[in-house]
Amino acid sequence: MSDALPALLARFADRSATVGIIGLGYVGLPLARAFAAAGLRVLGFDIDPGKVAKLNADRSYIKQIPDAAVAEMRGRGFEATDRFDRLAEPDAVLVCVPTPLTESREPDLTYVSNSARAIAAGLRRGQLVVLESTTYPTTTRNVVLPLLERGGLTAGRDFFLAFSPEREDPGNPTHSVTCIPKVVGGLDAASGDAACALYATIVPKVVRVSTPEVAEACKILENTYRAVNIALVNEMKLLYDRMGIDVWEVIEAAKTKPFGYQAFYPGPGLGGHCIPLDPFYLTWVARQYGFNTRFIELAGEVNTAMPAFVVSKVADALNDAGKPVRGSKVLILGMAYKKDVDDPRESPGFELMDLLLRKGAAVSYNDPHIPELPRMRHWPHLHMASTPLTAENLAAQDCVLIATDHTAYDYRFVAAHSRLVVDTRNATRGVADRERVVRA
């Protein structure tokens, strides 16, 4: 056992440790809140000075964490900074940065590598480093470890290294970080001991696995499972649409089976940072081993085709009403990637908007959680503000497209005041006036 380990474990046990978190987004900020609530001092790092300034002024930029929660964190010693030369201060450094894909659908580990280099510049004896960002198996060992050891310190003896995948379900308070078991894979026994002791301060159960590769593969499996099953039900929707069968009724019937079936639901496309992207990390690394992940690639084809299918349904519905897409006013309801969150990452709403604009429609949107569209990497030209959801505005539209089924929407009100509604989420189920509604 490393002689640096007992002192680190003692600091975790008596809550005297400082936890550093790189990346204060939808994963990092809730994690910071959890550690602060557990009595540990938290130092948050982010390259965005605007986020840092807001947090240090007791203001939040994530819906699920109100300003009062940030003020409470600050009262417990939380501090945000963009000074990465302070990375030697924490006893544990958790990396929660984006892992996007390149234009050619290959892993982009720029943020992970930059974080590792920044940690290495101030890495000291006895520190724990944990990568939480979703990535392909072997990243921790083959990418992060060499960068950290460049300064001469050795993992497992001088410092500790582990992978523990983030598990966040935004908008669902019963699935907050403090309610979900945490999978932890240490590079060695000492690293596993350190990481497990850290997370035991905030989660109900730590699930220890043998290596970082197992923990990395676990996260990819979780997200690939969802991507493949969503693709299956999306394909069923395409088929049943042609056959005149209501896929939503089929799913409700199948749900009555008490074993062997879990309900997944179709939609206008995949959204969020995880499911649309992470399976392709496994696809990429599989090619390095001469293996083709056919299920994943086929699921990707099906899911990425859904926005075009939805736009074709909008065009058909407008045509039935005697209107071309060009010149028609289309209001998209919901630009978040899932209901009741303010997270627009990879939301299919952006592609729906872009496709409709390219066809000449006059497109606007409403989202109670996203008052203004942020600049997105793939959609920098889609920058507009949410339009009010009034009876007059609904009546002025040629089509209202439900892309995200926020709870805040009154769907009876929407259906009653709209000329035409295209519903991709079955949100209008139970609405009496259904003759104006087309489900897509």
Confidence of residue 308 (pLDDT cuts 50, 70, 90): very high
* pLDDT for residue 1 is more than 60: no
What CATH architecture is 5-210? Answer: 3-Layer(aba) Sandwich (3.40)
Residues forming CATH 3.40.50.720 domain(s) in the chain? 5-210, 212-304, 306-440
Query: Within 13 Å, how many C-alpha atoms sit on residue 278's CB side?
Result: 25
The pLDDT score that the predictor gives to residue 432 is 60
Which tokens hold the place of 257? 């089976």
Residues facing residue 43 across a β-bridge: 20, 79
What CATH class is the domain 306-440?
A: alpha beta
pLDDT in tens, 200-243: 999 999 999 999 999 999 999 999 999 999 999 999 999 999 99
Task: State yes or no: pLDDT of 274 exceeds 80.
Answer: no
- Two tokens at 11? 């600091």
Name residue 401's beta-bridge partners: 332, 422
Tokens of 295: 């299920």
H or E stretch including 332? strand 329-333
* Mean pLDDT (whole number) for 44-64: 95
Q: What is the C-alpha to C-alpha distance for residues 275 and 264, in angstroms, rounded to an integer?
A: 13
Per-residue confidence (pLDDT) for residue 3, from 0 to 100: 84
pLDDT at 63: 86
For residues 147 and 175, give the distance between their C-alpha atoms in angstroms, rounded to a whole number: 34
Rounded to 5 degrees, φ, ψ at 393 are -70, -40
Q: What is the pLDDT of residues 157-178, one digit of tens each?
A: 999 999 999 987 776 777 788 8
What backbone torsions phi and psi does residue 93 show, to the nearest 5 degrees?
Answer: -120, 120
User: Could you confirm whether 274 is annotated as catalytic?
Assistant: yes
**Which pair of structure tokens corresponds to residue 255?**
């749900």
CB atoms near residue 229 (< 10 Å): 15
Question: How sure is the predictor about 434, in pLDDT bands with cuts at 50, 70 and 90?
Answer: low
User: Domain 212-304, what fold?
Assistant: Rossmann fold (3.40.50)
Q: In what order do the strands lie in the sheet with 206-209?
A: 79-81, 41-45, 18-22, 92-95, 128-131, 160-163, 182-186, 206-209
Helix 294-304 and helix 212-243, axial crossing angle in degrees, nearest 10: 50
Position 304 confidence tier, pLDDT thresholds 50, 70, 90: very high
Distance CA 47, CA 29 (A): 14
Name the active-site residue from 196, 218, 274, 399: 274
Which pLDDT score is estimated for 28? 96
Q: Give the mean model confidence (pLDDT) for residues 353-361.
A: 97
The Cβ-side half-sphere exposure at 284, using a 13 Å CA radius, reads 20
- Cα–Cα distance measured from residue 428 to residue 190, given in angstroms and rounded to the nearest whole number: 54
- With tokens 């049943």, the residue in question is 240
182 CB neighbour count, 10 Å cutoff: 24
Q: Give the tokens for residue 156.
A: 């497992």
| Residue scoring higher pLDDT (300 or 19) | 19
CA–CA separation, 217 vs 222, rounded Å? Answer: 9
Contact 356, 379 (CB under 8 A): no
Query: Is residue 111 very low, low, confident or very high in pLDDT (cuts 50, 70, 90)?
Result: very high
Query: What does DSSP assign to residue 107?
Result: B
